[in-house]
Structure 1
Amino acid sequence: MTVTTTESVADQFWTRCRSCSSLLYRKRLRRNLDVCPECGDHQRLAAPERIRQLVDPGSFAELPAEVVPVDPIEFADSVPYPQRLAAARADTGLAEAVLCGEARIDGHPLVVAVMDFRFLGGSLGTVVGELITRAAERALDRGLPLLLVTASGGARMQEGVLSLMQMATVSQAIAALGEAGLLTISLVTDPTFGGVAASFATNTDLVVVESGARMGFAGPRVIHQTIRKPLPDGFQTAEFLLRHGQADMVVERWGLRARLRSLLAAAHAAHTARAAHPAPSARAAHPAPTAHAAHAHAGAAGGGETTTAAAGAVPSVLIRDPGRLAEPDGWQAVQAARHLDRPTTLDYLATAFDGFTELHGDRLGADCPAIVAGLARLGDQHLVVVGHQKGHHTKDLLARNFGMPAPAGYRKAQRVMRLAVRLGLPIVTLIDTPGAYPGIEAEEQGQAAAIADSILAMTGLPVPVVAVVTGEGGSGGALALGVADRVLMLQNAVYSVISPEGCAAILWNDPTATPRAARALRVTAPDLLRLGVVDGVVPEPPQGAHTDPLAAADLLRRAVVETLTPLLRVPADALVRQRRLRFRRFGAGGRPVLPPVGPR
C-alpha cells in the first residue's frame, strides 16, 4: 500500500507563486487562468492547457505528427541527446515541443501551433520546424488563418545548424500565407527568445503579446555578459516591446480569447468577401458604377447632389455643390478646425465606427502615438482605419505630440495598410494634423523619406481608400494619409500646403499677417471643393462638430458608408488606375476659376 505524505498532499492542493511567493490554492489559480490573484504574474502554461483556454470546447483536432526522432549531429553533453528527448516526452506527454491542429475560436476556424516550454525549453529543432511548417501549409490548403503561440528559448543547440535552418523554413511558409491573403497571428508568451523571436514570432501579420511575457533575440544574461553594462528596468518586457514598436498589443490572459475572436472575425469577413468576388480580372470587363464616375472635376463644375444609394432611396449626406456652403473667413476656419473640443480620431472610432482594435508599432523600434491605426467595422463591413490623433487637453496633446507624427507613425500606417491589402479590407484615413513633426530626431530618422514612402505606397493600394479631413490638414504630413480614391472633408475642416503661420513668416516676414495668409491659401471647404481637391463635404452640426460630437459622428459615418459602398464593387486594377488619374488631373491645365478672396 502506498502511503501519501502530508507534504505530497499539500503539494496537490497548494503552490507558490514564482513571482511574489504567495501560497496559492491550485483550484483558485486554475479558475483564474493560472494568473496569480495576488500579484498578477502569468504562470507558464502547458500547450494543452493553452489550447483549452483559447479555443472552443471540443473543437481542437490535432494534426498528424508522425514524429521521427532525430539526432542529426549525434550531439552529447552530460547525456546523449536521444536520452534528453526521451525524458522530455515522458515528462510532458508530448511528442515534441509544439502541438498543432485545427480548431475554432467563437466558431471561426483556424490552424493553431502552440509551443510548450516544458519540452527542452520550447527549443526549435528540425521536428518542431517541420510540424509548424506543416501547420502553415494546412492553413494555406484550407484557406484558414494561422495562430502561432510561442514559448521558446530559441533554436535547439543539440541539432546544430539544421536547427538554425528552421527559422527560414517556417518563415517562408508564413510568407506564402501572406501572399495568399491569409491572416497570421503570433501570440508571444513568456519566454520567447533567440531564433523563434527572430523568425515566426515576429514576422506574422500581427504580434499579440501576453501580459508578463518577455521577448528578445538575445537573453538578458547573454546581453549583460556581452556589453558588461546593467540593463534598464523593464527590459524586454511586454510593455518594453509595445513602447518600442515591436508589438501590436499587450493583452491580459483573460482578454486573449476575445481579442483573437475580433481579429479572426475581420479575417473571416474578408475571406468571405473574396470568395463572393474571387477574381478582379473576371469583373474588370463590367466594373460597377462608382460615385463621381469619371472624376471630371465634379466640384469645379458645381454639380448638384447625387446619391450613391440605389435608385435615390437614401438622400446623400455629402455636399458636392460649393454654392450650398457658407463662405467662411479663412482664418476663422483655421481656428475652428483647431478647436480643442473638436472630435479626434479616437473619438470618432468610439462613436462613428464599431469594434475598433488598435494595432501598434512600426516594427523598427518605435510606436508613434500621433498615428492611430487598427481594425474596425461599419456595421458588417470590416475595414482598416488610420488617423492622426491630437487630444483635448495639455496632457493628451503632449503625449500625442499635438498630432504631429514622427517617421515611425507613417511607417506604422504603411504596415497596417499592407495588412489591409493582404486581407482585402478597405481603408479609411482620418486626417487631423498641423503637419509632420519637424524635430531633429525626425530628420535623423528619415521624416521626408517616411512621408514619401507613404504617398507612394497609397498610390498603388489595390483596395478602396477613403480619406476624410476631420480637422487640420497640414502639408505633406496630411497628404501622407490622403492619397485616396475619394477625399472628403468636414465642413469646418481646413486643408493647406503650409500653416498660415508658416506662410506669413516666409512670404510676409510678419507674424501679424497670419490671418491674411490663411485667406490667401484658400484652405476652406468651399474653396477645396471648387478646386476639386475634395470630392465632397461632410456637413457638421450648426455650431460645429465640437458642440454635438455624436451628431457629427453620425454624419461622418453616413458619409463614409455612402462613399465607400460603391468603391467596394470596383476591381482592384481599376481602383489603382482611377486613383492615379484622380491625382494626375492636378496638373497645370484645366484649373478652375476661383472667386476673389476676402479682405486682405
Structure 2
Amino acid sequence: MTLVTDPGSFSELPSPPRPSKPDGPLGWRGYDASRARAAERTGEEESVVCGTASVTGTPAVLIAFEFGFLGGSLGERTGDRLEAAYTHARAHRLPVVPLIATGGSRMQEGMLALSQLQRVARQSALTREAGLPQIAVLRDPTTGGGWATLGAGADVVLALPGAQVGFAGSRVRPPGADPAAYTAEGQVAFGSADALVRPEELRETLGQWLRLLTTPAQAAPAPPALGAPGLPATGWAAVRRARSPERPRAQAYLDACFTHRRDIGGDRCGGADTGGMLCGFGERDGRTVAYAAQTGAATRPAGYRTAARLIRLADRLDIPVLTLVDTPGAANDAEAERQGAGAAIAEVFGAVAAARVPITTLVIGEGGSGGALALSAPGNTWATPDSYFSVIAPELAAAILKRPPEEVEATAEQLRLRPQDLVELGVIRGIVNHPQP
C-alpha cells in the first residue's frame, strides 16, 4: 500500500461483520488454524485490505491484496470487503484501484468462494455504470478469478515487470505450456494489459492515470497543422504531400497537443497494434482529452478494437475524444481478415456513432477509404493542408475502373480528394491553419 499512497493518507474501511462458523462454511478441518497462522504471520485478518487514500494528491478507494494471507485467495469475507469497498467508492464518487496479488479462489470454501467472483463482477459493473474509473495494478502473482475479474475487467491495467499473470496458476496449467504466456510482459504483448510499470515509478504513473481519468473535461478543438501551410494544386499533388516521409505524423501531433499523456495498449482480445494506432488520454490546457491516432500505416483489426475500447471508455467517463486520421486504409491481408477486420471496423463506426461526448477529428495525412472514415466524427472533421481523404487510394480506384497506370494522376483529380475539395463538398468542416470561406 505504501508503494502508491501519499504518506499518512490511508484510512482503512471497516470490515463488514459475518457470523463465524467452526472451520468455515464447509467445516473444512484445520481451516480456522490456517487463518490464525496467516493472521499472525501478516498482521491482517483477511486477504484484502480496503481503504481510502490519495495517490499524488488524487483520492481513490484502494483494494490491496496480501498474498501472505492464504495466497491472497478470495473467500466469503473477502467478498464482503470487496463489495463494501466498491459501494463506498460509488457513494463518494471515487475511482477504484485494486492492487492485486492472488492465487485465485479459496479451496477451503469451495463453490462459496468461487461465487464471490460474481459479486465482484457485479460491483465492478455497477461502478462502471456510475462512470467511475477502475485502474488495476497486477502484482506477483495475479492468477485465477482475481485476474479474470478485478484485473482484466478494469478500465486500465498496469503490471509490474516479471509478475506472473494468467488465468491458470503455475500448479494447474498444462505441463508443456509456454511460461512466457503467463507473464506481465506476455499479457501486455497480447493486448490484455496496457503497460509495464517499474515499482519505483508506480506512484507517479498511477497518480497521472487517476488525474487524467477524473479531471473535468471539455470539447477538444482541432489541433493546428504542423506541416506546410499551402494547399495542393492538384489531386495527385495532395496525395504526394500526404505520403511524404517528411510530413509530421501522429507522434508529433500528440507531443505538441498534450503536456503529458498515457497510452492504453491492446484490444483485450489477444491483439495490439502499436505500430498502426496510438490510443490513450492526455492533458491539454489542464483538461483531459482521449485520443485515437493512426500512425500512417495500414490499421490492423487490433488497432480498431483498441480505438473502439478507448472511445467507449471516454464516453463512459465523460471525456471528449480527439481522433487523428492517417492511414492508406485498413489492413487487407489474409491474416487481417482472419482477425475480423470488418467486425473491428464496425466496432469503431458504432462507438463513434453512439458516443455522447464530443469527438473532434483531424485528418493529418492519408485518409484512405472506410478504414479512415471509421475514426472520423460526422460534422466535426477537419483536415491539414498536407492531407487528403478519398473513397479509396487513386491507384486502387484506377484498378477498379480498369484504367492503366498512367491514368492514376487523372483519377486522383476526378476523386476530388484535396482538402479544399472536401470543404466544398461538405465532407469536412474546414482546413486548419487556413482561412475558412
TM-score of the pair, normalised by structure 1: 0.69
2:428 is aligned with 1:534: yes
Kept in 1, the 8 Å contact 2:10–2:54? The answer is yes
2:115 is aligned with 1:165: yes
Number of the residue aligned with 2:364: 470
2:37 is aligned with 1:87: yes
Q: Where do 1:318-467 residues align within 5 Å?
A: 326=231, 328-369=233-274, 370-390=276-296, 403-467=297-361
Give 1:214 deviation, angstroms.
1.6
Give 1:201 deviation, angstroms.
1.3
Kept in 1, the 8 Å contact 2:379–2:429? The answer is no
Give 1:485 deviation, angstroms.
4.4
CA distance in 2, matches of 1:170, 1:514: 58
Match of 2:299, SS? coil
Number of the residue aligned with 1:244: 190
Give 1:178 deviation, angstroms.
0.9
Number of the residue aligned with 1:11: none
Give 1:493 deviation, angstroms.
0.4
Alignment gaps of 5+ in structure 2: none
Kept in 2, the 8 Å contact 1:190–1:213? The answer is yes
Match of 1:52, SS? coil
Kept in 1, the 8 Å contact 2:158–2:197? The answer is yes
1:529 aligned partner, one-letter code: V
Number of the residue aligned with 1:211: 161
CA distance in 2, matches of 1:255, 1:531: 50
Closer, same or farther: CA 533–140 of 1 in aligned 2, 3 Å: same
Kept in 2, the 8 Å contact 1:325–1:526? The answer is no
Residues 94-133 of structure 1: CA distance to partner in whole angstroms, max 9, x if unpaired? 0101111010112211110100110000001111111011
Match of 1:54, SS? coil
CA distance in 2, matches of 1:189, 1:99: 15
Closer, same or farther: CA 488–161 of 1 in aligned 2, 3 Å: same
Residues 198-235 of structure 1: CA distance to partner in whole angstroms, max 9, x if unpaired? 1111111111111121211112442224xxxx333522
CA distance in 1, matches of 2:232, 2:14: 70
1:249 aligned partner, one-letter code: A
Alignment gaps of 5+ in structure 1: 1-50, 275-289, 292-307, 309-315, 319-323, 391-402, 541-554, 560-600
Kept in 1, the 8 Å contact 2:16–2:84? The answer is no
Number of the residue aligned with 1:570: none
TM-score of the pair, normalised by structure 2: 0.94
Residue of 485, 504, 507 corresponding to 2:401: 507
CA distance in 2, matches of 1:447, 1:242: 21
Moved over 3 A (4+): 66-70, 324-327
Match of 1:134, SS? helix
Structure 1 window deviating more from structure 2 (439-448 vs 141-150): it is 439-448
Residue of 146, 153, 156 corresponding to 2:96: 146
Kept in 1, the 8 Å contact 2:327–2:372? The answer is yes
Closer, same or farther: CA 233–192 of 1 in aligned 2, 3 Å: closer
Identity %: 38
Give 1:325 deviation, angstroms.
7.2
Give 1:137 deviation, angstroms.
0.6
CA distance in 2, matches of 1:425, 1:485: 19
Number of the residue aligned with 1:268: 214
CA distance in 1, matches of 2:259, 2:319: 15
CA distance in 1, matches of 2:379, 2:27: 60
Residue of 216, 219, 224 corresponding to 2:174: 224
Match of 2:139, SS? strand
The structure with the largest alpha-carbon Rg is 1
CA distance in 2, matches of 1:326, 1:218: 57
RMSD: 2.2
Kept in 1, the 8 Å contact 2:231–2:385? The answer is no
* Aligned residues between the structures: 428
CA distance in 2, matches of 1:498, 1:165: 52
CA distance in 2, matches of 1:157, 1:470: 56
Residue of 19, 26, 41 corresponding to 1:73: 26
Residue of 142, 145, 150 corresponding to 1:195: 145
Match of 2:377, SS? coil
Kept in 2, the 8 Å contact 1:187–1:208? The answer is yes
Number of the residue aligned with 1:53: 3
Kept in 1, the 8 Å contact 2:16–2:80? The answer is no
CA distance in 1, matches of 2:272, 2:354: 25
Kept in 2, the 8 Å contact 1:465–1:485? The answer is no
Give 1:348 deviation, angstroms.
1.2
Closer, same or farther: CA 351–241 of 1 in aligned 2, 3 Å: same
Kept in 2, the 8 Å contact 1:466–1:485? The answer is no
